[in-house]
Amino acid sequence: MSLKQKTFKGVIWSAVERFSTQGVQFLFGILLARLLTPNDYGMIAMLTIFMAVSQTFIDSGFGNALIRKPDRNEADKATVFFFNIFMAVACYGVIFLAAPLVAQFYKMPQLTDILRVLALNLIILAFGSIQRLNLTIDLNFKTLAKVSFVGAVVGGSAGLVCAYNGLGVWSLVVQQMTTMTTRVILFWTLVHWRPKTFFNKTSFKSMFGFGSKLLASGLLNTLYDNIYDLIIGKVFSASTLGNYSRASHFANFPSSNITGIFQRVTFPVLSKVQDDPEKLRKGYLKFLNMATLVIFPLMIGLAAVAKPFILLVLTDKWVEVILILQIICIAQMWYPVHAINLNILQVMGRSDLFLKLEIIKKIEGIIVLCITLPHGIIAMCFGQWFNACFGLVINTYYSGKLLNAGLLPQLKMYIPTILNSLVMGAISMGVISLLPEKEYALQLVLGIVAGAIYYVASNWFFNRETVRELQGLMNRKKKIM
């Protein structure tokens, strides 16, 4: 198999891993949410930032350093393996001692025991780090998909049994620990790598320069990505955070997964024509057009059917999620546009501009958060609309300078899809409003069907070229399978 075929097959299995694993997690998340409360989910979300920061320290950029090292050897792998375990144990020790302070910070004493048990996942994951990296290096996403899928099923089942037996928030702890333990066992079973040497100082020094820079940027991103959870949990309540967390989970599922797939495709494809500005521009705009053709209707459609969807799948105890979800969906629909615009800077080798834009957006995001925080959770969610608009402006600034494909040309391309998606959403909401009040299943099904029929038909008649290009891209991938 050629490298090109192996790469495309890797993209397919990477997509399979994302959608199958997260699809299972999505399903179990719905079942668990019906048995648990927003307060249960909020307590876990309060602790996410401490787990995420610890995981960033544990990896310290050495995973990516190992992947990109052309002359990697067994000493390098063993060094990263033992370094990860050492850092995991050290981070767990810090978390164990700091757990009472975290509980005091949130004024919830029960978080002490929850955090101490949940943090054991850091040590468990460290033991499977190199096996997972070996699969990534070999582009063996098929095995990764199997491991992730089985882990999600086993963990979700364990959590569901615990929730059914009234264990509350501990059901989510058990779910996570069982998922991670299952994955590590499968990694050790399916990947026949064992450390043949011990920690090597020379190997450590050779990877430290690259890894330490990634550690700094990784910590910045991790802190920023989790700051909403931290502040909502501190200023409001675990229940409010639980509602926000569920809304974010549902909104992120389509936007982040579809964006991830397009990112994997756009980077290698556009990199091949980086020396031809006109081809690069056309390919870049084509990918943007295809991505928005898919993601805009999905996000606007989800906002349109949010009420029957939440009340049907989660029950009315999660009613506060509805408005939060509708607001976040509009902000998240721009996520693939941001990602592809940033991808083009990396394709052109302008990582300096990439970093500059990320710093500017994070400063702006913190300012908006500070302004909206005193006005409540809904205002904070609307603040994400401003973040999305600001990000669109500055992300397209350099696209305009480098490729003559800035904000105005892009908006001209997006407007027909946005308007068409809004009409689709209005049709869905209109159908829902005509149906009996509490017939949520009927509202959800007919709302989706009516909107989908309109959107597919309208694009087939008025945007057939882009639809065929999208079909061609998907058919090309299927042939590789």
Per-residue pLDDT of 386-419, as tens digits, reads 999 998 888 888 777 777 777 788 888 888 889 9
Which residue carries 């057009």 as its tokens? 289
Please name the helix (run of DSSP H) or strand (run of DSSP E) that holds residue 100, with its range, or none.
Answer: helix 74-106
Round the average pLDDT of the chain to a whole number and report it: 83
For residue 457, the number of C-alpha atoms closer than 13 Å in the C-beta half-sphere is 8
Assess contact for 54 and 119: CB atoms under 8 A: yes
Helix, strand and coil in the chain, % to nearest 5:
85, 0, 15
Q: Inter-axis angle of helices 306-313 and 321-332, to 10 degrees?
A: 130
The number of beta carbons lying within 10 Å of the beta carbon of residue 5 is: 11
Which candidate, 470, 30, 29, 34, places its Cα nearest to that of 261? Answer: 470
Please name the helix (run of DSSP H) or strand (run of DSSP E) that holds residue 1, with its range, or none.
Answer: none
Residue range 155-194, pLDDT digits in tens: 999 999 999 999 999 999 999 999 999 999 998 888 887 8
- pTM of whole model > 0.85? no
Question: Residue 480's pLDDT is what?
Answer: 37
How far apart CA 229 and CA 247 sit, in angstroms, is: 12
Please report, for residues 279, 347, 393, the alpha-carbon distance to residue 283 in angstroms, rounded to integers and kept in the order given: 6, 12, 21
- Residue bearing the bigger pLDDT, 239 or 197: 239
Assess contact for 150 and 186: CB atoms under 8 A: yes
The number of beta carbons lying within 10 Å of the beta carbon of residue 173 is: 23
DSSP 50: H
Which candidate, 395, 279, 424, 267, places its Cα nearest to that of 337? Answer: 395
